[in-house]
A and B are shown apart, each in its own frame.
Chain A
């Protein structure tokens, strides 16, 4: 069964550095999402992406964040200048149609020191 994949599984970075988190959605899916989960807390929506543009974003997704689909398979989340409070697990998800089940990747655990 196809799955969403994410790399790296863990990333440690210094405050102020840029990070890029990578996701490969399921191949025939058209809608892509990023969520984050701070340790011990709920999963929070960051952004949704369809047809090469952002379709919705949350208050968390400020100017420090950007998303891109640089080719036909990858979907990336960039954090330009990381802050301590960006430390979290970041999940990518994808779905074939809007309002269908979103399938989650295994996550990237980001630690900002």
Chain B
């Protein structure tokens, strides 16, 4: 069935370093890939998204890359700050629903 794998499950980085989170999807019909940040007990908040007709998208310190052939997409956060600490979820969508990855708990150490 449809599945999205996400790695790593936890990631600790020093403040100012970069963080990279990777996802792989199984459904070749997926064409929209959002990334959500979820702080403890809060709703998922969209931070960036990419569509299948684009290979890369950047928004200040956050960037996402997509390799459709390999069915991989990645989130890159540069110059990490303590407030970036949260759980990050990738998702893939081809129809109505989102299929979410299992989440990455990012901890930025001051």
Write the residues of chain A forming the contact surface with B, with a CB cutoff of 8 angstroms.
31, 33, 35, 41-45, 48, 50, 55-56, 58, 91, 98-99, 101-107
Q: How far is the CA of A42 from the CA of B102 in the complex (A)?
A: 5
Query: Are A50 and B96 within 8 A (Cβ)?
Result: yes
Q: Kindly identify which residue among A55, A99, A103 contacts B31, using a CB–CB cutoff of 8 Å.
A: A99
5 closest Cβ contacts across the A-B interface? A48-B96, A45-B97, A104-B43, A43-B100, A56-B96
Closest to A6 in B: B43
Q: Report how far A42 CA is from B90 CA in the complex, Å.
A: 10
Contacts known (A91-B43, A91-B44, A101-B34); A33 close to B96, Cβ less than 8 A = yes
Q: Is the CB of B31 within 8 A of A106?
A: no
- Is the pair B44, A45 in contact by a Cβ cutoff of 8 Å? no
- Residues of B near A45 (CB, < 8 A) are 97-100
The interface residues of chain B lying within 8 Å CB-to-CB of A56 are 95-97
Contacts of B49 in A (CB 8 A): 101
User: Can you name the residue of chain B whose Cβ is closest to the Cβ of A106?
Assistant: B43
Residues of B within 8 A of A58 (CB): 97
Asked if B44 and A55 make an inter-chain contact with CB atoms under 8 angstroms apart, the answer reads no
Write 23 A-B pairs (CB below 8 A) sorted by A numbering.
Answer: A31-B96, A33-B97, A35-B98, A41-B102, A42-B89, A42-B101, A42-B102, A42-B103, A43-B100, A44-B100, A45-B97, A45-B100, A56-B96, A91-B44, A98-B95, A101-B34, A101-B46, A102-B34, A102-B98, A103-B46, A104-B36, A105-B43, A106-B43
Distance in angstroms between the alpha carbons of A43 and B102 in the assembled complex: 8
